[in-house]
Structure 1
Amino acid sequence: MIECRAPKNSEEFEQYYHLRWQTLREPWQQAKGSEKDELESQAIHRLIIDDKQQVLAVGRLHFIEGNQAQIRYMAVAESCHGQGYGRIIINALEQAASKFGVRSIHLNAREGALGFYQRLGYEGNTVSHLLYGTIKHIAMEKPVILNSQQLIEEVNDLVDTWYSTIPLSKAMAINITSYDYHSLITTCDLAFNKNLHNTMFAGSIYTLATLTGWGWVHCKLIELGVVGDIVLADANIKYCSPIEGIAYAVTDNENKVLELLKFKNLRNEKINVNVNVYSGEKIAARFTATYVVKPKKKS
C-alpha cells in the first residue's frame, strides 16, 4: 500500500532529498546538496511512501508572482518506473496549487519526459535551458481548473472596497485568490512587503490577516442578505516563522457559519474568526480576531 502526502518528519525529508539527488544529480557527478535550492522552506512538497516507510517518488511546487506556480524536482525511484507514481505526484501538486488559487503551473521538462507531461495536459516546445550544458529542458505550462473555487461577484467587489477605503491594502496589492463559500484565501505583493531581513514585514502579515478575516465576514453577510458595518474589536497574532516568499492568508474552516445567523436580529453582534498565514504549506502566523457587526436596515 502506498500513500501520497507531504513529508512528516526529518527522516522522511532525508529520504525525499536523497531520492532527488540519486535521480537528478548523482548521474552527473553532482555533490550532495545540489538537489536543494533557496526555495525549499517556501514550497509544497509531496512524496509517495510505502508501508515499509520507503520513499518511492517525490515532487515540489513553489509559488511565483501573478497567481502562478512552478513544479520542480520530479523524481521516481528507478525500480518504480511505469507504475504511475509520477502522475500521482503531479495530481497532488496540482490540487495544492488549486487550493491556493493558482491559475497556471509552469515547469521545465527534461527532453526525455516531454511525452509524460504532454499526456498530463502540459504544453510548450521552447527550450528553456541546458542543465550542465547537456540536458535539454523544455518550458511547459498548464492552466489550473479551480472547480468550485471560482470568485463570486461580491468577492471581486470586496477588493475594490478595500482599495477605495484602505489605502494600505492597495499599496500592499492585497488580492483574493480563492473563495469557495467556506474559506477565503488572499495574498499580497512579495517585493513591497519585505523588511530589511528580506522576509515579510510583521505589519504586513497582520494587515493581510486582518483584512482576510474582515473579508470573510463581509462575504457571509452578503450571502445572508444582511447589510452592516464590520469593525475589528479585538485581535491576537502569533508569528511562528519568517516568510521569505509569497504569503497566503486562509480563513480557518472551523469558523462557525451558524454564528452569523444571529445578525438577522439586526443587533450588534460579535463573530470570532481564525486566519492562518502560510509560507508554502507551513503556518507562519496564526491570527485570531473578534469582529463586531452592526447590522442596519436596507434602504
Structure 2
Amino acid sequence: MTSRSMLRKLAVLMVGALAAAGASARTEIQNKGSDTLVNAAQSLAEQYGKVNPKVAVAVSGGGSGTGIAAMINGTVDIANSSRKMSEKEIKEAQAKGRQPVEHIIGYDALAIFVHKNFPGDSISISDLAKIYGRDGGASKWSDLGITIPGCKGEIVVVSRQNNSGTYAYFKEAVLGEKGKFRQGTLDMHGSKDVADLVEKTPCAIGYSGLAYVTDHMKALCVAPTAGKPCVKPTEQTAFDGTYPIARPLFMYTNGEPAGEVKKYLDWIKSNTGQCIIEKEGYAPMKKVSCK
C-alpha cells in the first residue's frame, strides 16, 4: 500500500470515528403517550432540536395508557397523558421501583363535536350522559327533541379506545366514576379520527381535544346542568376551569427529572415552550405573552 493510499484510509477512519463520537454524544429522549398531546409534543420536540441540537426527542403516540405503561416498564423518559395516573398504575410503578412524578404542562377543553348541520349550539352534561351512558335513554336525536337535516336514524356515538386518557376523563366527567359507556359506540384510535368522522356524518357526536376542532364542524357550548348557562370550549375557559369538561395535560417522569430531561421539561414550562402549547390550541399552564 502506498503512503498516499494509507493517508487516505487513515483520513476515512478518522472521519468515521469523529462521526461516531458525534452521534454517541447526542442524547435521545424517549417521549410517548397521549394522542391528544402528540401534535403538540412533536412541535415541542422539533423546536427544542433547534435550541439544543445535541438532544433529539423521539415522540410517539398510542394513548395515555400506552405511555404510562412504557414509563412503568422503563422504556421511555417521559410519558404524555391527558389524564392523571390511576392509583393502580402508581402501585404498579412502585412495585417495579419507579416513582412517578407528575408535571402539568397545559390545559385542554375537551370539546363536544357535532356535524355543521346540527341545529343547536349547546348541550348539557345530563344530555351527554343520556347519549353516551349505558341505558342512558337517548338512542335517536328525536329522543332529545332534536331534528338534524340528513339524519333519520340512531345517533352515531363516536368515542375513543379505552387506553385513551381522553376516554377515561370523559367517562369520569360525564358518566361518573361508576358510569359505563353504552354499547355500540364507534371507538376511534385518535382524536383526528373522531373529528374526521363527525365532519362527514350528520347523525354523529364525538369528543376530543380543543385543538382538533375545525371550521367544518361545530364545537358545542356545554352546560354543567340542564337549564344552567353553557360555557364555550376555549383556551381561557380551559385555563380558568369554567368549562365543565376541562382538564390538565400531563407529562410523567420516573422520579424528579435530571440532566437533559430536566432541561427539556424546564424549557417546556418556560414562556417559549408555553407559547408553543398555546399555538397548538391548548391553554398554557401559566399566563404568557406570545407574539
Give the TM-score normalised by structure 2.
0.29
Higher strand share: 1
Decide which structure has the larger Cα Rg and report it: 2
Higher helix share: 2
Which one scores higher on RCO, CA 8 angstroms, separation ≥ 6? Answer: 2
